[in-house]
Amino acid sequence: MENKKPFILISNDDGYQAKGINSLVDMIRDMADILVCAPESGRSGMACAFSANEPLVLVPQKQEEGLEVWSCNGTPVDCVKLALEELCKERRPQMVIGGINHGDNASVNTHYSGTMGVTLEGCMKYIPSVAFSLCTHDWFADFEPLRPYIRKIVRKVLDDGLPKGICLNVNFPVVDHFQGVRVCRMASGTWDNEVVKCRHPRGYDYWWMVGRYNNDEPEAEDTDNWALRHGYVAITPTKIDITSYEMIEQMKNWDL
């Protein structure tokens, strides 16, 4: 790859053939040399999981000027780790991007998301990292309205970087026209009805993981859920350090 442009590593949890990741490549290909290393198929819900007991395989899928695409049989985090160790030996990425995800990664979904796993892994390697998600699971979703926002965010991060230990979680609502951008916090939310029990014809039970998300503070206007519900692009700065510093102070008074 040419070294004149910035270098960006992209991965996802929907697989290298997903429309979202290919739309992202098209949106920013003129801005950087791009390396895609993504799962061979869908790996949603993998969060920061990595493969400790299975061998991993990298398969080259495409090589063009300024673009390489590889698939991997592992998790999204596996893809980032492998790419940085094996495919980026001569050049370190200036940025890691997860997405564009097919589905909402706001609120507590952050903790389950393989797209955020990509972004958190990049952030833990001290590389400026951003996750992009569109709030629909439609495989044929229209990602084109996201283009100007994604290009602006990518350009800003390439130019100015991000503070150590902080990445960005960017979610887009499905609307005809975005109301603007809101920088906001993660909403408090919970999942219920998370399993459906079924009976197999051979006489045993099995379960599907499903669930229904509940926004536990629907009127809080400073949250990502509120922003998305009102047609805004929601950007949530997300920290690697999950320490509760307030609790540290309280626990100093514990009689232990």
What pLDDT score was predicted for residue 255? Answer: 87
Q: For residue 225, what is the enclosing H or E element?
A: helix 224-229
Residue 103 confidence (pLDDT) above 90: yes
Give long-range contacts, CB 8 A cutoff, 24+ apart: 17-20.
Answer: 18/42, 18/102, 18/139, 19/102, 19/139, 19/140, 19/141, 19/143, 20/99, 20/100, 20/101, 20/102, 20/134, 20/141, 20/143
The mean pLDDT value for 150-161 works out to 98
Token pair, residue 78, equals: 């596996």
What pLDDT score was predicted for residue 194? Answer: 85
CB 120 within 8 A of CB 168: no
The mean pLDDT value for 212-233 works out to 95
Q: Euclidean distance between the first and final Cα of the chain, in Å?
A: 58
SS3 163: coil
Token pair, residue 82, equals: 């492998």
The mean pLDDT value for 4-9 works out to 94
Residue 1 confidence (pLDDT) above 50: no
CB 123 within 8 A of CB 166: yes
What pLDDT score was predicted for residue 187? Answer: 95
The mean pLDDT value for 220-245 works out to 97
What pLDDT score was predicted for residue 3? Answer: 63
> What pLDDT digit, counting tens, does each position of 202-211 carry?
999 999 998 8
The mean pLDDT value for 195-217 works out to 93
89 HSE (CA, 13 A, CB side)? 3
CB 121 within 8 A of CB 96: yes
| Residue located via tokens 């350009």 | 155
What pLDDT score was predicted for residue 4? Answer: 81
**Percentage of residues in the chain with pLDDT exceeding 90?**
91
Residue 83 pLDDT class (50, 70, 90 cuts): very high
What pLDDT score was predicted for residue 44? Answer: 87
What pLDDT score was predicted for residue 183? Answer: 98
Token pair, residue 193, equals: 């009805």
* Torsion on CA atoms 178, 76, 95, 33, rounded to nearest 10: -100
Residue 2 confidence (pLDDT) above 80: no
Strand-pair partners of 195: 209
Strand-pair partners of 133: 101, 171
- What are the φ and ψ backbone dihedral angles of 145, each rounded to 5 degrees? -60, -20
